Structure 1
Amino acid sequence: MNTLKVITSFCFAIIFSASTSAQEKIQILVLGTSHYNEEKDSLEYKEVIDKLTDFNPDMVMGEFVSPQEYVSLEPDSYRRKVNDSTFYYYQHLNAAVKPNKKKMEKAAARLVAFPNLHRSRIDLAVQLLNSYDLGNAKYQIYVLEKLKKVHFNKEEAAAYKTMLGGTEKLVQHNLYQNTSEYNAIIFPLMYRLNISGIYPADCQVYDTKWTQAWRIVAYCMHFINRIAEMDDTSEEAKIVKKIRDEKNRIYSESDSLGLYGYRYLNSSFNAEESDLVNFYGGEKLFDFSKNYPEKEVREMIKYWQLRNEGMAANILKQAREKKVKRVLVAAGSAHQKWIVDILEEQPDVVVIGYNDL
């Protein structure tokens, strides 16, 4: 009898240890998003927000680069070309504002406790823009525009116009976009859960090399498509048909399973389609035709893989440093499977699928 008790206790200890170990792992949900979210689908976005609320993340990350990485990027990189004019405009509009990271973190936390301190939120948005923190600036601007602006007094309205230029300027500088996944899903979720800020997950250090590789393939495919139009018996026509057939197969199979919207964006079918489109056929065309630019496509894939490895590294570093339990990462759906495949190799991570919620 004593022996049985010892064995039972030992087995229980093993089970308890395994359970504890599983609980200590970081749960990470990578939400594949659309960068264009129409108002007509608002009911679906509400469903997505409700599901993510149940997941209850204690850290949210987005497809933004850190301020430190941003200022180190080459001036002709995509991110710099898109955002430099915005930062330049607001930094000159508010040249006297000197941001302080610790003070900004305290201000963001205070606004969670006291969300109607409108002037403090305006000041924080300006400081974030002056420190190249695009993701958190957009979050504070979302809250101001969507939820707080209607409650401004005269002084707050004047400060908003003077310091941020008002709604028209914010839209012009892409700081307020109703159709973005952040305004449609991520920022409403953060406000609901009292999450004070968003962390940067993107990696753009390979952007110029990626762009060069993409341009070469795009140039090749332009002529492949032209030749295919002129001669439907050519190797080029076979390439174009193969890509079209693969797309139709993906759509047919996913439709038969009723996968639409964000359920589709977070499925293996979307991962297939994204690779097919982004890489002009990609691996499905390797060894298919001697006229397919396989070598050049492989170069594209190399830099795409490096970017996603960089994103996964950013996610893991910040999650481990903050010692959080549940992380939500919002990334364009073309990144979703690439990042997940990397994260699943980590022994301290459990990947949660959106379609499993």
Structure 2
Amino acid sequence: MKFFVSLLLITVSFLASAQSVKKGQPLEILFIAAAHDYGAKPVEDFTYAINKALAFKPDAVFGENLSPEDYDALDRHWNKEAIDKRLAYLTKLGYPVPKHPQAFIARQYKLLRKYPNYHQERMKLAHALFMTHDFGNASYQFYLLDKMRPAFGAEEVAAFTRILGPVDSLKNVGFRRTNEYYNIFHPIAQTLKLEKIMPMDCQKYNTPWSAAWEKTDSLYKIFEKSIEADTNSADYRTYQKLVNENNALQRLLNKANQAGKSTEFLNTVEWDKYTDFGNFYGNRYLFGLKGFPENGVRDMLKYWTLRNEGMCQNIVNRARQLGAKRVVVGVGASHRELMVSILKAMPGVTVYTLNEYHP
């Protein structure tokens, strides 16, 4: 009996130690800020970000997607109406959802690991992922299918139509060839032969954030009209100085876009300031001006910070649960400054931003 008690204590001690190591295990992050839309005919040099990510040799790629569990836990989502339409589209096609979807999804991943060119099985996986609200990984499978589409025979085209709709209609489920996933993060994952894109978004604060945004927007319009009516005031000069600086930053962005270097620009402090002006109505640079909706902006900043903290916590927790030591994080560029700051302050985490990383 004494032996078994000792063995139990050793086992418990080992598990506790292992868990502790896992919680604090070192994690390196390559942080890539990107645009949500590069246009139908981009001139962007996507290899700038892709090659750096491949040289980083990550164990996982994180995208700005919700996990199915996090999506299902929401009482409201900013894009719910569009998502419901996409789900209704697939439901109307009539292809059945497996009785035990998670077991089915696991089997499909295992099968495709061995036979990656079983296109019809990949179609079934994509369908099951979407219908179980794993939209990020469904999108990744849509991307892979889109790349494989030229090799489809008549039977595969018919299967695609039956399961997901006509092969040229993936836009009905939100698939876009213009976004950062299609052009940067899915190619990275595909080249590295990663099965999944890891989710990390946090939308728990969407409702109060939206309310704060709507309120601030209406008040800012009143402020803007008022301040532009008196061009001789000190407040107007402060306001105009910010407008001029914003316009100068816009010109830098335009120049980068034309040169095919927008992603590079989106990973600079100049972009951070530009998006700070735009997303938060001038932010702290206009605090104290008469009529400026400072309280509204502060509310926006509060919920924006909470969201970004949640995203960072998701990245670190899920990377460590996965046993990953190096990960690429792909996110909309407006998150860059705050998320990088939060991640750098987290114990055991080392962050490399895109432009500063030199393999």
User: What's the TM-score bracket when you normalise by the shorter of the two chains?
Assistant: 0.7 to 0.9
Q: Which residues of structure 2 form unaligned runs of 5+?
A: 1-24
Counterpart position of 2:232: 233
The answer (yes or no) to whether the contact 1:74–1:80 under 8 Å persists in 2 is no
Matched residue type, 1:157 = V
Partner of 1:73: 74
The answer to whether residue 341 in structure 2 is matched with residue 341 in structure 1 is yes
Normalising to structure 2: TM-score of the pair? 0.84
Post-superposition offset of 1:61: 0.9
Secondary structure of the corresponding residue to residue 280 of structure 1 = coil
Partners of 2:328 and 2:164 in 1: CA distance: 29
Q: Report matched runs for 1:2-151 at 5 Å.
A: 25-38=26-39, 40-42=41-43, 44-75=45-76, 77-94=77-94, 96-98=96-98, 100-145=101-146, 147-151=147-151
Distance 1:91 1:316, change over 3 A: farther
CA distance in 2 between counterparts of 1:304 and 1:108 reads 35
Identical aligned pairs, as a percentage?
32
Q: Which amino acid aligns with 1:332?
A: G
1:39 is displaced (CA, Å) by 5.3
Question: For 1:200-349, what aligned pairs fall within 5 Å after superposition?
Answer: 200-233=199-232, 237-238=236-237, 240-248=239-247, 250=249, 260-287=261-288, 289-349=289-349
Q: 1:117 to 1:255 in 2, by over 3 A?
A: closer
Q: What is the rounded CA distance, in whole Å, between the counterparts of 2:323 and 2:201 in structure 1?
A: 20
Residue 183 of structure 1 corresponds to: 182
1:160 positional shift:
0.3
State whether structure 2 residue 197 is matched by structure 1 residue 198: yes
SS of equivalent residue, structure 1 residue 64:
coil
Q: Which residue of 1 aligns with 2:355?
A: 355
Partner-residue secondary structure (3-state), 2:329 = strand
| AA aligned opposite 2:203 | Q
What TM-score do you get using the length of structure 1 for normalisation? 0.85
Does the 8 A contact of 2:45 with 2:261 survive in 1?
A: no
The change in CA–CA distance for 1:328 and 1:222 in structure 2 (over 3 A counts) is: same
- Write out per-residue CA displacement over residues 268-327 of structure 1, whole angstroms, 9 at most, x where no aligned residue: 11111111110000122223x132111111000000000001101111110110110111
Distance 1:95 1:253, change over 3 A: closer
Label 1:93 to 1:111 Cα distance change in 2 as closer, same or farther (>3 A).
same
Higher helix share: 1
Q: Find out whether 1:160 has 2:178 as its counterpart.
A: no
1:227-273 Cα shifts (integer Å, max 9, x gaps): 34444335774464143133145468889999941121111111111
After TM superposition, the structure 1 stretch with the greater mean CA deviation from structure 2, 224-233 or 332-341, is 224-233
How many Å separate the matches in 1 of 2:286 and 2:225? 18
Q: CA deviation at 1:111?
A: 2.6
Is the 2:59–2:327 Cα contact (8 Å) retained in structure 1? yes
Tell whether the 8 Å contact from 1:70 to 1:80 is kept in structure 2 after alignment.
no
In structure 2, relative to structure 1, the CA distance for the partners of 1:167 and 1:119 (3 Å cut) is closer
In 1, the alpha carbon distance for the partners of 2:109 and 2:328 equals 19
Partner amino acid, structure 2, of 1:34:
A
Post-superposition shift, 1:30?
Answer: 1.9
Q: Name the stretch that deviates more: 218-227 or 328-337.
A: 218-227
